[in-house]
Amino acid sequence: MEDKVYTPDEVAKIFQISKHTVYELIKRGELNAFKIGNKMRIEQVELDQFKEKQKAPSQHQHATKEVDYPKPLRLAGSHDILVEQLIKHTSLLGNDIHIHPTYIGSLEGLMMLYRGQCDIAAIHLMDPTSQEYNLPFINQLFVHEKISLIRFATREQGLILPKGNPKKISKISDLARADIKFVNRQKGSGTRFLFDSLLAQEKISPKNITGYEVVEWNHLSAASYISRGAADVTFGIQAAANHLNLDFIPIAREQFDFVLKWTEENKETLTRLVELLQSDSLRDGLKDCPGYDLEQLGTAIIEF
């Protein structure tokens, strides 16, 4: 059963505090949250952990020296179900690795890293010219910075369809049929980059696809259109299709990577994160997620 997800308003009501206080707790790293577009959300597991922290015995609070905890790592970029599992895994480990995600799309995540607004960019950007993932974009942006590119997963992208595929969709060119209603991903997402490249290869104009202009900000939201019958097909990851018990036709395999920007402030925490990504314990914890190949999990593609 999936954890319930709360808005800051709902969290404020639960704890009987102001919404401003909720945002301050998030800002200070005392309450972990994530973003979908520009909307902040908090998972049930984070609320439970926050409650437990508040129950620490008062007699120890004054006797114990105050600990200077490392700042949370700010992750920005592509939404992915496996990234959510990684963040939950780090929260349960209690190893001082705290990740605050902002799911805003691969391109904007990379730009936030370039501008120094995050520590990690989660990206899967395919360069149409070279057909290579991620490296061409990194080489254009980062010249003097200390950057690492760490492989997270290889994953399947394809057509997500209702169970039984009632309209017999089998390939990208079918999306131009007059009886097919599509739902898209937002500009700047790696999925949109890949999909538009596939359309160009097939010489299909977006104008010929009904619903091309209808966009969602993550895979599950787009797949939910199919689940509730609001659209016939979307382009997304196999994990989202499996999550909602939908059919899936694989079209492409892509590289999903983390770009790390090293600073004096984050180097210790980033080092621990890389060690975790290369650990057998994490691989074992993530191996049951369908639609992913974890053979290269933690592999350094670029090291500073």
pLDDT tens readout for residues 134-159: 999 999 999 989 999 999 999 999 99
The whole-number average pLDDT for the span 41-70 is 65
pLDDT of residue 185: 97
Kindly report the backbone phi and psi dihedral angles of residue 44, in degrees, each rounded to the nearest multiple of 5, phi listed first.
-60, -40
Contacts of residue 168, defined as CB under 8 A and 6 or more positions apart, other chains included, come to: 174
* Mean pLDDT score across all residues of the chain: 90
Cβ–Cβ contacts within 10 Å for residue 213, how many? 11
Give the pLDDT band (50/70/90) at residue 171. Answer: very high
pLDDT of residue 59: 43
pLDDT tens readout for residues 199-245: 999 999 999 999 999 999 999 999 999 999 999 999 999 999 999 99
pLDDT tens readout for residues 21-48: 888 788 777 888 888 777 888 988 888 8
Supply the pTM of this predicted model: 0.82
Which of the two residues, 71 and 158, has the higher pLDDT score? Answer: 158
pLDDT of residue 203: 97
Which of the two residues, 262 and 93, has the higher pLDDT score? Answer: 262
Same fold, 5-56+67-154+255-302 and 157-253: yes
User: Residue 94 and residue 98: Cα distance in Å, rounded?
Assistant: 9
Residue-wise over 177-197: b if at least 16 C-beta within 10 A, else e?
Answer: eeebbbbbbbebbbbbbbbbb
Give the pLDDT band (50/70/90) at residue 163. Answer: very high
Q: Which CATH class is domain 5-56+67-154+255-302?
A: alpha beta
Domains of the chain, by residue range, sit at: 5-56+67-154+255-302, 157-253
Flag whether pLDDT at 65 surpasses 60: no
Quote the tokens at residue 140: 């254009």
Q: Which superfamily does 157-253 belong to?
A: Periplasmic binding protein-like II (3.40.190.10)
Quote the tokens at residue 57: 């015995």
Cβ–Cβ contacts within 10 Å for residue 18, how many? 11
Give the pLDDT band (50/70/90) at residue 271. Answer: very high
- Report CA dihedral (157, 163, 166, 171) to the nearest 10 degrees: 10
Question: Of all residues in the chain, what percent carry a pLDDT higher than 70?
Answer: 93
- Contact status, residue 182 vs residue 153, Cβ threshold 8 Å: no
Please state the length of the chain: 304
pLDDT of residue 12: 86
